[in-house]
Amino acid sequence: MFSKRLHARLVALGLALAVIAPNVLAVSPDHHEFEATLYAPFRGQVQEARDFQLGFSFIDARDPSTVAWRVDLLSADGKQTIRSWYGEERLFQKLVEVNVPWSGRGQSERALATGFYQVRLTASAGDPVLVRTTAGNLEQRVDRVLQNAKDTVVQQWEVHVGNPPKVAMPTFRALPTSTGAAKSQGALGSLPYTVYFGNLHTQSNDSDGGGAIATCSGSQPAQSGAFGPNDGFVYARAHGLDFSAASEHNHYFDGSSGTNTAASASAAITRYANGVAASNTFNSANPGFLALYGMEWGVINNGGHLNILNATELFGWESNSSGQLFGSTFVAKSDYQTLYSTMLGKGFIGQFNHPASSGQFLIGGTALAYNADGDQVMVLAEIQNSSAFSKNTTETETGRSTYESAFKTLLERGYHIAPATNQDNHCANWGMSWTNRTGVLIPNGSALSKTAFFDALKARRVFATSDKNSQLVLTANGHLMGERFSNTGALNLVANFANGLGRTVASAQILEGVPGRNGTVTTLVSAATATITPTVGTHFYYARLVQDDGKILWSAPVWVTQGSGGGNVAPTANYTFTTS
Give pLDDT tens digits for 352-404.
Answer: 999 999 999 999 999 999 999 999 999 999 999 999 999 999 999 999 999 99
Cα 218 from Cα 278, distance rounded (Å): 25
Q: What is each CA distance from 338 to 54, 329, 335, in whole angstroms?
A: 38, 11, 6
- Cβ atoms within 10 A of the Cβ of 271, count? 20
CA distance 398 to 436: 12
Between 151 and 50, the more confident residue is 50
What pLDDT, on a 0 to 100 scale, did the predictor assign at position 247? 98
The answer to the question of residue 490 being in a domain is: yes
Mark whether 385 and 241 lie in a shared domain: yes
Amino acid at 579: T
CATH at 286: 3.20.20.140
Q: For residue 90, what is the domain's CATH number?
A: 2.60.40.10
Considering the domain architecture, whether residues 422 and 537 belong to the same structural domain is answered as yes
| Average pLDDT score over residue span 422-446 | 98
Cβ contact 167:527 at 8 Å: yes
Q: Are residues 381 and 530 in the same domain?
A: yes
pTM for the full model?
0.91
Question: Considering the domain boundaries, does residue 569 fall inside one?
Answer: no
If asked whether residues 205 and 154 sit together in one domain, one would say no
Q: How many CB atoms lie within 10 A of CB 266?
A: 10
Distance CA 355, CA 120 (A): 18
Instruction: Please state the separation of Cα 122 from the chain's center in Å.
Output: 18
pLDDT tens digits, one per residue of 18-56: 333 333 333 345 666 789 999 999 999 889 999 999 999
**H or E stretch at 53:** strand 50-57
Distance CA 359, CA 177 (A): 39
DSSP H helical ranges for 392-449:
404-413
Residue 183 belongs to a domain: no
Residue 150's pLDDT band, with cuts at 50, 70 and 90, is confident
Tally of residues, the chain:
580
| DSSP β-bridge partners for residue 14 | none
Kindly report which listed range (5-19, 278-292, 446-460) carries the lowest average pLDDT score. Answer: 5-19
Burial class (CB in 10 A: 0-12, 13-18, 19+), 182: exposed
For residue 341, the tally of other CB atoms under 10 A from its CB is 18
> Is 299 contained in some domain?
yes
The contacts of residue 515 (CB under 8 Å, 6+ apart) are: 411, 412, 413, 414, 415, 416, 538, 539, 540, 559, 573, 575, 577
Owning domain of residue 27: 2-161
Per DSSP, 112 falls in state P
Q: What is the tens place of the pLDDT at every residue in 222-260?
A: 999 999 999 999 999 999 999 999 999 999 999 999 899
Q: Are residues 225 and 362 in the same domain?
A: yes
**Structural domains of the chain, count:** 2
Beta strands 243-249; 290-297: pairing state: parallel
pLDDT at 73: 98
Q: Are residues 287 and 148 in the same domain?
A: no
Residue 133's pLDDT band (cuts 50, 70, 90): low
Last residue of a domain, one of 108, 140, 161: 161
Q: What is the pLDDT of residues 397-431, one digit of tens each?
A: 999 999 999 999 999 999 999 999 999 999 999 99
pLDDT of residue 462: 98
389 and 267 share one domain = yes
pLDDT of residue 93: 80
Cβ-based neighbours of 519, under 8 Å, separated by 6 or more: 412, 513
Separation of alpha carbons 580 and 485, rounded Å: 5
Measured in whole angstroms, the distance separating CA 326 from the mean position of its chain's CA atoms is 28
Listed residue (481, 477, 485) closest to 560, CA to CA: 485
Alpha helices in 414-465 (DSSP H): 450-458
Q: Which of 76-80, 133-137, 395-399 has the lowest mean pLDDT?
A: 133-137
Task: Let me know whether 126 and 271 are in one domain.
Answer: no
In a domain, 305, yes or no: yes
SS3 182: coil
177 domain residue, yes or no: no
Residue 540 is assigned to a structural domain of this protein:
yes
Is the same domain home to 221 and 317? yes
Q: Based on the fold, state whether residues 370 and 495 are members of the same structural domain.
A: yes
In percent, the amount of the chain with pLDDT more than 90 equals: 81
Final residue before a domain boundary, out of 111, 144, 161: 161
Point out the domain boundary residue: 161, 183, 214: 161
Asked if residue 24 belongs to a domain, the reply is: yes
